[in-house]
Structure formats: structure tokens, C-alpha cells
């Protein structure tokens, strides 16, 4: 690191803080301004903010590790989540904005009635806002520690790394506390652009090293399995400890493609939307901006971001062949250290800081919204002024920052967290989807759907059954689904007055609400679900076509790449046509 590198880092911090201060006035006055930017986010700003949040400091390292272990096809471990993401885009984005609530947890008492709804809301506010949120931030902190210790081994080690990360968190917490979601979203846009520029620069510099010889040289030096875009599906799979094409059994493939995307809850990829994704949808100007923001997020998340990381990951296979199977992700950090000249190294570190801080800023604001709106105001201190709640929100932003630092000191590894979270949310996803479209779902059935996966997981884990993830989904999902469906039919339904007020505001339509809609003839219900289904399929085709098209063009297969892009454009035109049919010709 030279003087110019440090100047770039200082400039980055100065710009981030300046943005926070500029937008500080917009955050005051009400919790709606602080947590939802007054519901005035344009689609492009809300969409970029979603992408920036999911671009954490650990993301490039994780992709590099997947590529190093399983080739390009290794990314299907997260590319499969697009199916659920597109479901959110076309079926739920408008509904979240239409609900006119402050958080997705507030939805519980907006949709359900009675003490079970209050208990579920309070539990989720604490579980998601404090426990899960601080664990996720601890996870992100660990990744940043790995980056800093890898780049500055002479200065940063496991004993003092947390002080540096804590300093970054303090700056992030400051601008998050003073500016609310407005400052977070605008800073996200700046940080995302910086992070993408940095990763593209690194990919270009690394792939053009003499040891590699450009993209054509890279392909000639890699085994065939590394360049495969799709996993290998076979009846028998032998795990490899040294790397190779992502191989899946038929049952594993079907679990990912046919079950996980709709059945399992996962932070940031909730079936039906939720979390900080729902926060951005609810903060959009209107329903159209909400849908377009979510559609932009899906395209950018899966098509634009991954390829620079993938190129670095493939290059690391050539440059660092001796890295162990578990340490493949470190190839990204080593490439930064070994090949970036003065100036560019500072730019890349600023890019990683941007990726890290955008994620932390969102989690601080989002987690605080749960605590303030769904626990503090709902159960502890009612009927105070909006300024009071904003003041407490700013204080709790700082408190959650310190909590996440404490959690980080107790974490040593994040391995297994991904599969554990998916397994312990398996079956809950169907409730999160159907509660919008079927009046019979009630609070008790959602409570049962939340608890049952933990019980079944514990039985499978400690009963020493020979079933591993993702095949555990074939057991957990049916058991959970049966349990909550049975509960829905044998327990008292939601009060009819609550159902009617929900339907009047959201009016989702469909056969699942026929009993309620028949009584509300003055409410115009949504129609045209067949068009939404076509848009959902077309959206999946659009993103996968663009993803493959960009990849084929990058690696010199121009005609194949253009064919994929044409298919993607055709899908986009079909979606546009359906939007026009539905009267969505313009956007504010």
C-alpha cells in the first residue's frame, strides 16, 4: 500500500460520510422517513440498494471458492435461487407496496388476529431483529477480517483485526443512524458502483498476467470441468476432495430446483419476499417502482455481478494450484496482493470496504426497524411521538453495532450455517407464500410451520439417520407442510373483520379468497394471474439467458452468446407486452 492507496481509502470514507450527512434531514420526523425513505425510492435506487446489500465482503471470496472447487457450475448452489426471486418479482412486489406497512413483521398482525398473532410478531421481531441479524453481521465481519489479514499480514492479525473492522462498523453505524434508509440507499449506490469497478479492474489485470495469457490462455490452461456452465447430473456421485465439476445426484438436483426455492426460508431469499428486500419494495414510490426495482435486482444480482468474480476464481486455479480445497476462496485476496499496482490496490480495498459497509448499513437499519416498530413501539412503549421513536432508532443502531462486534468475537467459522438455516426453515416458505392468497392460513399455522422444521431437523441430526442436506428437504418439507395444514383446519380461523380489512387494502384476488371477496363486491380484486405466471417463466428465461450469453461472449463463443442474448431479449419483450396489457405502460 502506497500513499495514493491510502488517499483513495480516505476519499472513500469521506464520500460515504458526506452522503450520510447530506441525507440526515430526510431521516428525521417519522419512522416512515427513517426506515422507508418516506416511500419515495425510485426503482433504480431501490434495485441497486438490494444488489449492494447482497454484495457483501465475503461474496467474491465465496464465489472464488465455489469456482475453485467445482468450476463455473459450482455457482448453481446459489443460481437456483432465481426461481424464487422471480416469484417475488411478479407475484409479491406490488402486494408488499400495496400493504402500506412499515416492516414485513408488521404484516403478521395486519393479516392475522388475536394473541397468537401478537406472540408471533413479538417473537420474530426479537429473533430476526436481534439474534439472526447480529449473527449475519458477525458472519460478514469474519469475512472482512479474512480479507484484512490476507492483505496486511504484517500489520493485521487475528488478535487486532476486530479493531479495524470495528472502526469501519462505527463509521457505518454513524451514517446509518443519522441518515436512515435514504442515506443507506444512496450510499449503497455509490458503494456498489465502486465495488463493481474494482472487481472488473482486478479481473482484467489478473487474467492478462503472463502466467495466464488472457482469456484464451486461461481456457487452455484449465481442465474441461472448470469451464462447464452446468452441473453434472448422474445417478451416482462420488465426492471429490481435490476439485472437479459440480456433481449432483438426481435427488439432489431435484431438491434444489424443485423444492428449496419455494419451501425454505433463507435471509434475503424469502419465498414471497421479506427482510431487507421487502423493506426496499415497501420504500418504493408506488407498485410499479416496487416491481421494476425487484426485477432489476434479479437481473443485476445474477447476470452482471458474478462474471468478474468467476474470472478471478478461474485465474486463481492457474496461479495458485497448491491452495487446499478449503482455502480456494483465498485466491481472490492473494490475486489482489500479488498483481495490483499502487492506486489499484487502494481502489480494490475501497471496493471491499464498500461491499462490506453497504451490507452492514442495511442490516443495522433493517434490524433496528424490527426492534422499534414490532417490539419497542408495539409492546414496550406505545403512543409516543414519531420523533421519540426516531431518536430511539438512532440509539439502537449504535447498540446493534456493538452487539454484532460481541457476536463476532464468539464466532470461529461459518461453515454449515447456510445448510442449517435452509433446513431449519424448510416448509415455512409455503406458508409465507399462501398467507397472501388463502384466507384459511392463520397465525397458529405459521407458528407451527416455524417450529416444526427445528424439531424434525433435531430428530434427523441426533437420531443418526443417514440423510444429509439437501436430501433432508424430502423429509422436513412434507412433515412441516402436513403439520401446518392440519393446524390451519383444526384451529380457529382469523377473525373475519381482520380478513376483510386485509382484503380491502391488498385485494390479491384468486380462488383462495373467494369466500371473502364474495362479501366485498365493491372491492376490485386482482385478475390476470395467468399473465403473471407467464411473466414468471419469462423472467427466469430472461436472466438465465443473459447470464449464459454474457459468459459465452466473455469466453469467445460470440455466436452462442448472441443466441442466448436474443432469447433473453425475446423474454423481455414478452414481459413488456404483458405489462402493457395490464396497464403498466409507464413508470414514475
45/155 same-domain check: yes
SS3 content of the chain, % helix, strand, coil (to 5): 75, 0, 25
User: What is residue 494's DSSP assignment?
Assistant: P
- Asked whether residue 82 is assigned to any structural domain, the reply reads yes
Residue 391 grid coordinates: 431518536
Place of cell 392475522: 112
Domain housing 101: 3-412
Among 373, 396, 412, the domain boundary falls at 412
User: Do residues 81 and 203 share a domain?
Assistant: yes
Cell 373483520 -> residue? 497
Same domain, 352 and 442: no
Domain boundary among 412, 441, 459: 412
Phi, psi of 230 (to 5 degrees): -125, 150
Residues 36 and 111 in one domain: yes
Assess whether 361 and 423 both reside in one domain: no
Residue 453 lies in a domain: yes
Q: Which stretches of the chain drop beneath a pLDDT of 70? A: 235-243, 267-268, 411-419, 583-588
- Radius of gyration from C-alpha coordinates of the chain: 24
Q: Residue 558: inside a domain, yes or no?
A: no
Instruction: Express each pLDDT in 104-124 by its tens digit.
Output: 999 999 999 999 999 999 999
Q: What angle do CA 122, 123, 125 make, to 5 degrees?
A: 65
Residues 133 and 278 in one domain: yes
Q: Give the residues across from 249 on adjacent strands.
A: 234
Locus of grid cell 483485526: 161
CA atoms within 13 A on the CB side of 31: 21
Domain co-membership, 332 together with 249: yes
Question: Burial level of 557, CB count in 10 A (0-12/13-18/19+)?
Answer: middle
Backbone angles phi, psi at 241, to 5 degrees: -100, 0
Quote the pLDDT of residue 435. 94
* DSSP bridge pairs for 426: 264
Residue 567, in any domain of the structure: no
Closest to 202 (Cα-Cα) out of 64, 327, 323, 321: 64
What local confidence, expressed as pLDDT, does residue 587 receive? 44
Residue 536 belongs to some domain of the structure: no
499, containing H or E segment: helix 496-506
How many alpha carbons lie under 13 Å from residue 43 in its C-beta half-sphere?
19
CATH number reported for the structural domain that contains residue 53 in this entry: 1.20.1730.10
How far apart CA 378 and CA 375 sit, in angstroms, is 5
Examine the domain organization and report whether 424 and 389 are in the same domain: no
The pLDDT value given to residue 237: 59
Number of domains the chain is built from: 2
476 within 8 A of 264, measured Cβ to Cβ? no
Q: 152 and 269 share a domain?
A: yes
What angle is formed at CA 348 by the lines to CA 328 and CA 188, rounded to 5 degrees?
105
Task: For residue 524, tell me if it sits in a domain.
Answer: no
Q: How many CB atoms lie within 10 A of CB 260?
A: 24
* Average pLDDT, rounded, for the chain: 87
* DSSP letter (8 states) at residue 286: S
**Cβ-count burial 130-141 (b if 16+ within 10 Å, e if not):** bebbbbbbbbbb
The answer to whether residue 568 is domain-embedded is no
**How far is residue 516 from each of residues 512, 522, 558, measured CA to CA in Å?**
9, 12, 54
> Could you say which DSSP state residue 282 is in?
H
Mind listing the pLDDT tens digit for each residue in 281-339? 999 999 999 999 999 999 999 998 899 999 999 999 999 988 887 778 888 888 988 88
What is the pLDDT at residue 588? 42
Residue 222, classed as helix, strand or coil, is coil
Give the C-alpha separation, 8 to 14, whole Å.
10
Residue 426's SS3 state is: strand
Residue 564 belongs to some domain of the structure: no
Cis peptide before 470 (omega within 30 of 0): yes
Q: Read off the pTM.
A: 0.89
Last residue in a domain, options 412, 433, 465: 412
Please indicate, yes or no, whether residues 397 and 436 belong to a single structural domain of this protein: no
Same domain for 367 and 290: yes
Instruction: Kindly state whether residues 206 and 341 are assigned to the same domain.
Output: yes
**Which residues fall within 8 angstroms of residue 426, CB to CB, at 6 or more apart?**
263, 264, 453, 457, 472, 473, 476, 477, 480
Amino acid at each position: 500500500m502506497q500513499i495514493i492507496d491510502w488517499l483513495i481509502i480516505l476519499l472513500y470514507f469521506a464520500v460515504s460520510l458526506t452522503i450520510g450527512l447530506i441525507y440526515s434531514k430526510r431521516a428525521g420526523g417519522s419512522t416512515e422517513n427513517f426506515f422507508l425513505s418516506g416511500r419515495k425510492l425510485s426503482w433504480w435506487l431501490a434495485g441497486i440498494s438490494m444488489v449492494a446489500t447482497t454484495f457483501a465482503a465475503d461474496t467474491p471470496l465465496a464465489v472464488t471458492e465455489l469456482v475453485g472447487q467445482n468450476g463455473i457450475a459450482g455457482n448453481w448452489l446459489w443460481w437456483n435461487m432465481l426461481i424464487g426471486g422471480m416469484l417475488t418479482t411478479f407475484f409479491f412486489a406490488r402486494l408488499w407496496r400495496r400493504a402500506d406497512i412499515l416492516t414485513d413483521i408488521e404484516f403478521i398482525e395486519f393479516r392475522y388476529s388475536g394473541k397468537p398473532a401478537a406472540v408471533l410478531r413479538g417473537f420474530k421481531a426479537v429473533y430476526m431483529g436481534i439474534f439472526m441479524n447480529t449473527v449475519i453481521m458477525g458472519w460478514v465481519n469474519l469475512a472482512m477480517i479474512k480479507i484484512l489479514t490476507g492483505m496486511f499480514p504484517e500489520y493485521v492479525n487475528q488478535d487486532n483485526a476486530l479493531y479495524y473492522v470495528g472502526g469501519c462498523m462505527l463509521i457505518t453505524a454513524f451514517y446509518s443512524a443519522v441518515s436512515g434508509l435514504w442515506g443507506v440507499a444512496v450510499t449503497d449506490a455509490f458503494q456498489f458502483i465502486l465495488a463493481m469497478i474494482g472487481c472488473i479492474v482486478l479481473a482484467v489485470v489478473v487474467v492478462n498476467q503472463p502466467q495466464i495469457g488472457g482469456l484464451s490462455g486461461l481456457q487452455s490452461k484449465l481442465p474441461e470441468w472448470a469451464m462447464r456452465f452446468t452441473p453434472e447430473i448422474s445417478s451416482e456421485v462420488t465426492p471429490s476432495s481435490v476439485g472437479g465439476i459440480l456433481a449432483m445426484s438426481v435427488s439432489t438436483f431435484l431438491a434444489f430446483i424443485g423444492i428449496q426455492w419455494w419451501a425454505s426460508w433463507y435471509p434475503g431469499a424469502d419465498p414471497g419476499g421479506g427482510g431487507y428486500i421487502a423493506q426496499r419494495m415497501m420504500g418504493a414510490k408506488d407498485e410499479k417502482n416496487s416491481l421494476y426495482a425487484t426485477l432489476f435486482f434479479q437481473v443485476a444480482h445474477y447476470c452482471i455481478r458474478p462474471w468478474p468474480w468467476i474470472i478471478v476464481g478461474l485465474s486463481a486455479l492457474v496461479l495458485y494450484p497448491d491452495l487446499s480445497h478449503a482455502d480456494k476462496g483465498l485466491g481472490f485476496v492473494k490475486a489482489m496482493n500479488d498483481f495490483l499496482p499502487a492506486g489499484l490496490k487502494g481502489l480494490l480495498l475501497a471496493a471491499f470496504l464498500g461491499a462490506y459497509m453497504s451490507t452492514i448499513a442495511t442490516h443495522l437499519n433493517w434490524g433496528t426497524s424490527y426492534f422499534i416498530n414490532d417490539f419497542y413501539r408495539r409492546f414496550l412503549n406505545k403512543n409516543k411521538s414519531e420523533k421519540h421513536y426516531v431518536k430511539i432508532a438512532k440509539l439502537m443502531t449504535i447498540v446493534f453495532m456493538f452487539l454484532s462486534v460481541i457476536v463476532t468475537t464468539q464466532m470461529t467459522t461459518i461453515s454449515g450455517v447456510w445448510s442449517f438455516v435452509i433446513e431449519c426453515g424448510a416448509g415455512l416458505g409455503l406458508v409465507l407464500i399462501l398467507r397472501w392468497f388463502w384466507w384459511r392460513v392463520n397465525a397458529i399455522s405459521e407458528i407451527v410451520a416455524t417450529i416444526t422444521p427445528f424439531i424434525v431437523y433435531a430428530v434427523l441430526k441426533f437420531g443418526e439417520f443417514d440423510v444429509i442436506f439437501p436430501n433432508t428437504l424430502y423429509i422436513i418439507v412434507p412433515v412441516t407442510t402436513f403439520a401446518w395444514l392440519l393446524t390451519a383446519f383444526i384451529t380457529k380461523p382469523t377473525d373475519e373483520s381482520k380478513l376483510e380489512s386485509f382484503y380491502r387494502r391488498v385485494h390479491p384476488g384468486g380462488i383462495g379468497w373467494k369466500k371473502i371477496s364474495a362479501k366485498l363486491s365493491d372491492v376490485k380484486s386482482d385478475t390476470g394471474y395467468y399473465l403473471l405466471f407467464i411473466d414468471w417463466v419469462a423472467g427466469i428465461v430472461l436472466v438465465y439467458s443473459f447470464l449464459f450469453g454474457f459468459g459465452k461472449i466473455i469466453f469467445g463463443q460470440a455466436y452462442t452468446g448472441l443466441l442466448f442474448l436474443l432469447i433473453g431479449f425475446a423474454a423481455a419483450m414478452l414481459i413488456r407486452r404483458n405489462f402493457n396489457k395490464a396497464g403498466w405502460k409507464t413508470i414514475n
